[in-house]
């Protein structure tokens, strides 16, 4: 057994307050410097941040941040982009299914009709680019609308497979619920940005 003093000297998880401070600082620096640079190459590198640095690195910076903070909102957008990048065919199919019942959200998201895998990828890249070059609130709202259309598509897909595979249907329903929650979080972050309260 270690004596208490030796135990106290063992390295452990970093201080949560320090982690949050670093998360906010990095998110703010990245967004502000990209906006100040007005350089398409910088924006492109930031859009592809997960590809260059890895999802684990980005997660270590921002994944613990509350949804209604700048690092939390960025984390959600990067996770969404990574999903689209890894599974563009399924995302496009779900989007096509969902757009029938979520036309208003489709207009806000701005996806080509009918969307293919490259179209959904372009939209998510455009949403992230908007974070660094345009009105952040609009970029967050486009991301939220995209999630809402996908959630609708996932819910319809779950209904279609429920008779054949109850477990898969339940998994898809949970995924749809998660997308709705992400949409709500991005919308809340957009409202905070407009009120100059997104930390």
Task: Evaluate whether residue 126 is within a structural domain.
Answer: yes
Alpha-carbon distance of 45 to 97, in angstroms, equals: 32
Residue 16, pLDDT above cutoff 80: no
Least confident of 12-16, 19-23, 50-54, 173-177: 12-16
Residue 72, pLDDT above cutoff 60: yes
Per the structure, the count of domains in the chain is: 1
Task: Evaluate whether residue 6 is within a structural domain.
Answer: no
Task: Evaluate whether residue 1 is within a structural domain.
Answer: no
State the pTM of this model: 0.86
Task: Evaluate whether residue 185 is within a structural domain.
Answer: yes
Task: Evaluate whether residue 162 is within a structural domain.
Answer: yes
Q: Is residue 71 within 8 Å of residue 21, measured between CB atoms?
A: no
Residue-range definition of the domain harbouring residue 126: 15-194
Q: How far is CA 102 from the centre of its chain?
A: 19
Handedness of CA 111, 112, 113, 118 (dihedral sign): negative
Could you please report the per-residue DSSP string of 88-139? HHHHHHHHHHHHTT-HHHHHHHT--SS--HHHHHHHHHHHHHHHHHS-HHHH
| pLDDT band, very low/low/confident/very high, at 187 (cuts 50, 70, 90) | very high
Task: Evaluate whether residue 54 is within a structural domain.
Answer: yes
Task: Evaluate whether residue 7 is within a structural domain.
Answer: no
Burial of residue 79 (CB within 10 Å: 0-12, 13-18, 19+) is middle
| pLDDT band, very low/low/confident/very high, at 15 (cuts 50, 70, 90) | confident
Q: Report the pLDDT value the prediction gives residue 196, as an integer from 0 to 100.
A: 93
C-beta atoms surrounding 197 within 10 Å: 10
Task: Evaluate whether residue 4 is within a structural domain.
Answer: no
């Amino acid at each position: 057994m270690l004596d208490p003093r030796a135990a106290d000297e063992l390295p452990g998880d970093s201080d949560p307050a320090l982690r949050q401070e670093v998360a906010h600082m990095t998110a703010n620096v990245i967004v502000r410097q990209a906006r100040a640079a007005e350089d398409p190459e910088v924006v492109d590198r930031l859009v592809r941040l997960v590809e260059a640095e890895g999802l684990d690195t980005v997660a270590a910076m921002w994944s613990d941040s509350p949804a209604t903070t700048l690092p939390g909102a960025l984390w959600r957008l990067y996770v969404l982009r990574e999903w689209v990048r890894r599974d563009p065919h399924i995302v496009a199919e779900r989007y096509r299914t969902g757009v029938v019942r979520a036309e208003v959200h489709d207009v806000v998201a701005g996806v080509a009709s009918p969307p293919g895998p490259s179209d959904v990828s372009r939209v998510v890249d455009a949403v992230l680019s908007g974070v660094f070059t345009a009105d952040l609130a609009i970029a967050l709202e486009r991301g939220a609308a995209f999630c809402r259309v996908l959630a609708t598509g996932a819910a319809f897909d779950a209904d279609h497979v429920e008779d054949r595979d109850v477990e898969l249907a339940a998994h898809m329903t949970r995924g749809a619920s998660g997308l709705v929650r992400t949409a709500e979080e991005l919308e809340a972050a957009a409202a905070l940005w407009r009120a100059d309260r997104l930390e």
